Amino acid sequence: MIASELKPMEEILASLEGQGRVFVVACDGCSAGCETSGPEQVAEMTAGLEKAGKEVTGSARVDFACNAGLVALTLTQHLKDVAAADGLLVMSCGVGVQTVADAVEMQVHPATNSIYLGGFQGLWRSSQRCAECGECLLEYTGGICPLTACSKSLLYGTCGGPNDGKCEVDSSIECGWERIYQRLKAVGRLDLYAKMPPLRNFQNMTPTGKRRATSLWALETVEFDEEEESPAPAGVG
């Protein structure tokens, strides 16, 4: 699974500047288990947005926001409310945010940061991936993760190698930053490219002692003692 924590409300409201109407998408999977997208958190988020003067046009819950089919099906049932919004606020891990962004041609805002737990990602099979960097930048990149979409994990733009929009590392795939540019252009937010945070705190990818003490860490991490031999069958040795 991918663990997440809610971004500070001040950061969420800053990302929604200029967008008075918001539709909220919440995941009932991993993030709900982390108590960052359950009904209680959605109610609190809605109240916070309305207190700040935002109009919440509606909300939807998706069983697994990392599944493109489920996301498309769910949003189809709320087309009127989605169309009435200026942007979507997504309460899920980074994969869910990317999946929602693929389903709509409008700005998508992450409400959480995915945090590293040192284990394997139990994700629905899809093309989206999350680096669990603890500092989600999907707000600035049109819902496409530069760390996973770019073969070199470049954070501030393309390298000098792309040819006709293809990656120089693997010419069978599109350049991640070309995709980001085209997405921002499509939603009319190329200005976000210039607003990327100038520095990145890589310590966010190091799990703290507090996180290691949680049940989520214990569930996701399996320790193997290479020197420990398997017990011999009864009657042997």
Question: Once rounded to an integer, what is the mean pLDDT over residues 31-56?
Answer: 95
| Confidence check: pLDDT of 210 > 80 | no
Question: Once rounded to an integer, what is the mean pLDDT over residues 56-70?
Answer: 95
| Confidence check: pLDDT of 85 > 60 | yes
- For 75, the 3-state DSSP assignment is helix
131 in the same domain as 115: yes
88 in the same domain as 70: yes
Residue 210 in any domain: the answer is no
Residue 226 in any domain: the answer is no
Structure confidence at residue 69 as a pLDDT band (50, 70, 90): very high
| Confidence check: pLDDT of 212 > 90 | no
Structural domain boundaries enclosing 180: 141-203
Domain boundary among the residues 139, 157, 185 is at 139
Contact, 98 vs 144, CB < 8 A?
A: yes
Q: Model pTM? A: 0.81
Identify the CA nearest to 7 among candidates 113, 164, 125, 84: 113
User: What are the backbone dihedrals phi and psi of residue 196, each rounded to the nearest 5 degrees, phi first?
Assistant: -55, 135
Residue 216 in any domain: the answer is no
133: CATH: 3.40.50
What is the C-alpha separation between 236 and 231, in angstroms, rounded?
10
- Crossing angle of helices 68-76 and 94-103, in 10° steps, is 50
Residue 2 in any domain: the answer is yes
Residue 18 in any domain: the answer is yes
Q: Which amino acid is at 13?
A: L
Question: Once rounded to an integer, what is the mean pLDDT over residues 138-157?
Answer: 90
| Confidence check: pLDDT of 161 > 70 | yes
Q: What percent of the chain has pLDDT over 70?
A: 83
Number of domains in the chain: 2
33 in the same domain as 119: yes
Structure confidence at residue 220 as a pLDDT band (50, 70, 90): low
Residue 227 in any domain: the answer is no
The alpha-carbon radius of gyration of the chain (Å, integer) is: 20
Q: What does the block give as tokens for 115?
A: 């945090």
167 in the same domain as 65: no
Task: Give the H or E element holding residue 81.
Answer: helix 79-83
What is the C-alpha separation between 112 and 4, in angstroms, rounded?
6
